Structure 1
Amino acid sequence: MVRLGSLLVLLTYTLGSMQGSDGKELPVPISDVMERLVDLEKRLLIQEGKNADLEKRLLEQEILNEAQGKIIQNMASCDCHSNEKATTNLSDGSLNPYTTDIEDSQGNTSSFDGQMNKSLPLHHAQNSHSVSQIKSNPNAKRDIAGGVAFYAYMSQSEFSLGHHQTLVFDHVVTNVGGNYNRHSGMFTSPSQGGYVFSWTLYCSAGGNFYSQVVVNSDLVGALYCGAQGSHDIKHVTGVVVVEINQGDIVYIRSHPTILIEGAVYSSSIIRSSFTGWKLF
């Protein structure tokens, strides 16, 4: 408002001294000028707020880019040996970069592990092997019949988290029994028993928020993620074990009243996630 006051004084002095060709003072609509200046000051304040918000987002993006760069460098420095059987097989016109014969994987799992570990990073090889076994082995499918388990994560960050808001983990990786809804973010219990639920959330640099795990309308667990004064992304993980009934719903939500700052981060290198399974 100091700028507005200075402009008003200057314009009042200037306009007050304006004269016509006959030497008489001209009538000046001071109220109109003041009204326009007040409106201009409001617009300037709004624009300054937008600029500050944009600078904050740019800083957060720079931090995220730096973290991604470090991970890429670590991956590039990994000593991964190539394998002749992991090359593209063009003899039959296919474009499959890995020769994972199903029968071989079932008949000789140790040989399969050795081939995959040479062609891929260790963690990827183990995951690929386990998924291949489940898909190719019908006995494995029968073993999990009647089981209950799910795992899902956010496909993108949530920048406009509100109070009492259900967090939706929309990308489903595992949903044995089909009891998790990726559209609502809620798990519906298919039967009475003991269940384990866990959730991991990342908060942006300088941000903070509280999260809760809820059964129906009852609070059974809570977490706080705080990154005030930090230039790094922070994360928290919570685990609860509860006994619930058939038809009960379980979900993660933000706190109903406490101030929320920053964003819930989730990307290709950091996953804000929600998982659960039945114990008995």
Structure 2
Amino acid sequence: MQLSMCVCLFSVIVTIGQTNVITGQGEDRARLDLKARVIALENALSTLKTELDAKVASLKCDCSSVGSGLGTLTHQTGKRLLVPATPNKEKPAFYSFLSSDELASTKHHTIPFDVVKTNVGNNYHPNSGTFIAPSAGTYAFDWMIQSTWRGVVYTQLMRNSEVLGEVVADSSHEYEFHSATGVVVVQLSEGDEVFIRTHPTDASTGHIISRPGYRSSFSGWRI
């Protein structure tokens, strides 16, 4: 009985010893694998750093070449190269039309297009029918006039006291509406006033028509 117990105890001790040996070998192998991975990552990072340093050096060289080229061009032309500034304001623009028919027979009369749909910069004034240029530049204007049956309407586009354009909407021989459209591109100075008026000497007759589908309108914008 005692001999059997001794044999069993010896077997347990041997088994524990073998387990410790196997466990120790597994831990050593794991450490070696981890060390190998760390070394591989360090090598990869070193390679990546070398490639990035080379690209940065190449970009610096390219920038230096561009700067040298610009300097040479400036020296040859004797002028500075300037990059155009980006405008920080919207260009003025407006669109307006008459809210209803208006008598056309009054000569030298500014037409107040009183319904404003677009007025970027608020430079068009519907009470007076006048656009005031906020700055010097090139502007485009157009206006469309509808004449009533058996009527004729003479209109002019004005810059201050100067006539820039004229149109005639003539229905004098027809029982139908006729329209006329004018387009003008002009250089304006700051403060110039632009408006539409009836002709100062040629007498218009009837009405300027402005109804849904037949709007008489005035618009303009800076180019």
- TM-score, normalization by structure 1: 0.48
Compare relative contact order (CA 8 Å, sep 6+) and give the higher one, 1 or 2: 2
Structure 1: gaps spanning 5 or more residues? 1-142
Q: Deviations over 1:248-276 (max 9, x none)?
A: 00000000011211110001221100000
Match of 2:78 in 1: none
Match of 2:117 in 1: 173
Q: Which has the larger radius of gyration?
A: 2
Partner amino acid, structure 1, of 2:178: K
Q: Deviations over 1:52-93 (max 9, x none)?
A: xxxxxxxxxxxxxxxxxxxxxxxxxxxxxxxxxxxxxxxxxx
- Whether the 8 Å CA contact 1:161–1:264 is kept in 2: the answer is no
Match of 1:185 in 2: 129
CA distance in 2, matches of 1:263, 1:192: 35
- Whether the 8 Å CA contact 1:196–1:239 is kept in 2: the answer is yes
CA distance in 1, matches of 2:145, 2:104: 15
Partner amino acid, structure 2, of 1:177: G
Q: Deviations over 1:170-225 (max 9, x none)?
A: 00000001000010000000000000000000000100121000000000100111
Match of 1:268 in 2: 212
CA distance in 2, matches of 1:176, 1:192: 16
Partner amino acid, structure 1, of 2:191: G
Q: How many residues align?
A: 137
Match of 1:233 in 2: 177
- Whether the 8 Å CA contact 2:104–2:204 is kept in 1: the answer is no
CA distance in 2, matches of 1:210, 1:192: 29
- Whether the 8 Å CA contact 2:110–2:197 is kept in 1: the answer is yes
Partner amino acid, structure 2, of 1:195: Y
- Runs of 4+ in structure 1 off by over 6 angstroms are none
Match of 1:219 in 2: 163
Which residue among 127, 150, 170 is the counterpart of 2:94?
150
User: Relative to 1, partners in 2 of residues 1:216 and 1:265: Cα closer, same or farther, differing over 3 Å?
Assistant: same
SS in 1 for 2:102: coil
Write the mapping of 1:46-125 to structure 2, written as runs, cut at 5 A: none
Q: 1:159: Cα distance to partner?
A: 2.3
Structure 2: gaps spanning 5 or more residues? 1-86
Partner amino acid, structure 2, of 1:218: E
CA distance in 2, matches of 1:271, 1:144: 34
- Whether the 8 Å CA contact 2:136–2:189 is kept in 1: the answer is yes
- Whether the 8 Å CA contact 1:213–1:250 is kept in 2: the answer is yes
CA distance in 2, matches of 1:243, 1:259: 30
Identity %: 39
- Whether the 8 Å CA contact 2:104–2:198 is kept in 1: the answer is no
Which structure shows the bigger proportion of residues in strand conformation?
Answer: 2
